[in-house]
A and B are shown apart, each in its own frame.
Chain A
Amino acid sequence: MDIALDVVEGQPRATPLSLVTTLEEYRKPLLPSPRRKSADIRLVARHADVYEPCDDSFALVDALLADRANICELQPSVCLEVGCGSGYVVASLALMLSDRRNIRFIATDISKSAVETTRSTLAAHNLHADVLVADLVSGIESSIAGAVDVLVFNPPYVPTADDEVGVGGIASAWAGGDRGRVVIDRMLEVVDSILSSKGWFYLVTVTANNPGEICQIMRRKGFASRIVIQRSTEEESLHVLKFWRDGTNESSDPQSNGPLVSPSGRASFLQRSLSHRLSCLVSFKSV
């Protein structure tokens, strides 16, 4: 197996179309025919305490796919997923970059079961990554300082009481405290130190998190931002935001730069967002 790439050649599989149903709607016409590559949902491991790939996970992978050509151009050396859960996202990222050589993939999660599940998912796809149980990047922060070229995080973003954050079990996968921002805001504090000078950060948010304010916080830290994917379902409005250091390029094609998020986020999605998470859990339970 090809360790350098952390991917075995010839191994990538196409995702069944039905699983990326919404991709087509959001794909920009300016991308001629990107290769569709993501983890095979049938090979994604499961565990009762681990977040199963859901709308947000698919939105994040679709955002990465939509930005794949740019990511390739960036020539990343280190890709990190924080909060890897089932491993669906990091496995997809590794697969979509499988023709790039010498990329190192790292994945962390605060849940031991999640990291074990990610390990199985990676193995099922014949992929290798450094996986560890960590609070965000605890234990690796100093060694990855200034080194991460692609950082992705689908955080626990559902507004809850603050004391529900990080209590363990499946609740840690979604409980985000006040406005769903407790874990997100902690993450925002470490981005600057771990991201490389050319690095990009992809973050999933819902409207209740006030993505506009998140962008403003990041702007004060010297980061520009755009929405890669915005997806409104009946239940919630998801955004995948992308951040890069102001003054660096974030795209080989300037046309693809979308607008900054407007600072006036509405909080009315709180209920919807919650019910969305619950519906994911319910559908999971019935599997």
Chain B
Amino acid sequence: MRLLTHNMLACNIKGVTNGFPLGIDATRVETKEVEMNPDFLKHIFPKLRWEAFRAAAHSLGIDNLPEQVDSNMLLDEEFLQQFHHALLEVHLEEGALICPETGRRFPVSKGIPNMLLNEDEV
């Protein structure tokens, strides 16, 4: 899964109020190069929850994303490249996503997050 996917996942165990963002425990990370599409990056940027994205990237060893961002930065080629790489090229293949409130682990296997809950959690 890409960090774009991570950015929309939250723990929704009954009663949990702060299930976002999920922490990442990475066992295997892969990088798959893809062509950059600045249009898409500009389109998705305002919808992305940046702090969560930056923290997720950090847990995968990517430390070059700025803390503060604004849409002007999208004109900067170097920033775009870093943004593109972290958002779309880095894949969490094996590991777990961790609920910030309960510590509940959601497994990620073959690049697919499993967000199913047990009966006593819904």
Contact = CB atoms under 8 A, between A and B. Distances in A.
A185 interface: no
B34 A139 contact: no
DSSP class of B's interface residues: helix, strand, loop or mixed?
Answer: loop
Given A139-B106, A143-B8, A144-B8, A101 B39 contact: yes
A134 B115 contact: yes
B9 interface: yes
A69 B30 CA distance: 38
B112 A115 contact: yes
B110 interface: yes
Contact of A140 (B34, B114, B115, B117): B115
B117 A135 contact: yes
Contacts of B11: 139
B61 to A, nearest CB: 21
B12 A139 contact: yes
B56 interface: no
B117 A116 contact: no
Nearest to B114: A133
Contact of A116 (B12, B112, B116): B112
B4 interface: yes
B10 interface: yes
B115 A133 contact: yes
Contacts of A134: 115-116
A112 B110 CA distance: 10
Contacts of A133: 112-116
Contacts of B7: 143
Interface string A131-158: 1111100111111100000000000000
Contact of A143 (B10, B109, B116): B10
Interface stretch (A1-9, A46-54, A198-206): A1-9
Given A102-B39, A140-B115, A142-B20, A3 B34 contact: yes
Interface of B: 1-2, 4-5, 7-12, 20, 34-37, 39-41, 43-44, 88, 106, 109-117, 122
